[in-house]
């Protein structure tokens, strides 16, 4: 069975790209990375692609429209069937988003719809939430908006700062993104309006409390 061809857009170090590279290194994984595209020639993620023998290209960003046109052409040439934003830090052209509707995914380090936009971990800490995490969603024209596919949850600790919380979230991002691409590649996702149905998926059975219930009981 042919593997799904994945295009990945990045702007920086490419840690989520590396998670996808590592997943795709397993021949049983149902997707392979066809091309990596960055809007920044100095992005470290391009080196990751080069080391893995993956086609990669830097497209400087003279305008949103110019980038979209060049990226779309490169993706078509690569045969990409799904595009994953992995730390791509610019707003995409609306026509590009429309052309890839329900074939364009993003990962965001918050439990959307909470804390969209920049510095979501900082927003979470300022709000005093007890849990944070990450969300993979289909992309729409509005920033950090679109049907939610999957989420991962982490606790917020009393002594967390933005850097520590970001690192904790990033660890689960590296698990969630390859899993989500697998679900797409296996044809298990169906979008109905704002809702994504996942064939064969079941939610976890257990709730997680913060603070931990046993600590509250012990203190009482």
177 vs 29: CA distance, rounded Å: 13
> Assign residue 144 a region: left if phi > 0, alpha if psi is -120 to 50, beta otherwise?
left
Question: For residues 89 and 108, is the Cβ–Cβ distance under 8 A?
Answer: no
Q: Which of 56, 108, 137, 174 is catalytic?
A: 108
174 is catalytic: no
Q: In this structure, what DSSP letter does residue 28 have?
A: T
Contact call for residues 135 and 148 (beta carbons, < 8 A) = yes
Question: Six-digit token pair at 126?
Answer: 């300022």
Cα distance between residue 177 and residue 180, in whole Å: 5
Catalytic residue ranges: 108
């Amino acid at each position: 069975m042919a593997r799904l061809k994945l295009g990945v857009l990045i702007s920086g170090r490419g840690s989520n790209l590396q998670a996808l590279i590592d997943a795709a290194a397993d021949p049983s994984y149902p997707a392979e990375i066809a091309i990596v595209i960055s809007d920044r020639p100095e992005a470290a993620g391009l080196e990751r692609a080069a080391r893995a023998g993956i086609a990669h290209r830097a497209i400087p960003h003279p305008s949103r429209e110019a980038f979209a046109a060049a990226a779309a052409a490169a993706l078509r040439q690569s045969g990409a069937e799904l595009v994953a934003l992995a730390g791509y830090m610019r707003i995409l052209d609306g026509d590009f988003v429309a052309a890839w509707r329900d074939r364009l995914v993003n990962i965001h380090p918050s439990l959307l719809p909470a804390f969209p936009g920049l510095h979501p971990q900082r927003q979470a800490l300022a709000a005093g939430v007890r849990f944070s995490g990450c969300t993979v969603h289909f992309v729409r024209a509005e920033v950090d908006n679109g049907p939610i596919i999957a989420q991962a949850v982490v606790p917020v600790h009393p002594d967390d700062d933005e850097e520590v919380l970001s690192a904790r979230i990033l660890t689960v991002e590296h698990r969630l993104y390859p899993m989500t691409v697998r679900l797409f590649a296996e044809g298990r996702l169906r979008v109905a309006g704002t809702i994504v149905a996942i064939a064969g998926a079941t939610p976890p059975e257990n709730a997680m409390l913060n603070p931990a219930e046993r600590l509250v009981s012990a203190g009482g």
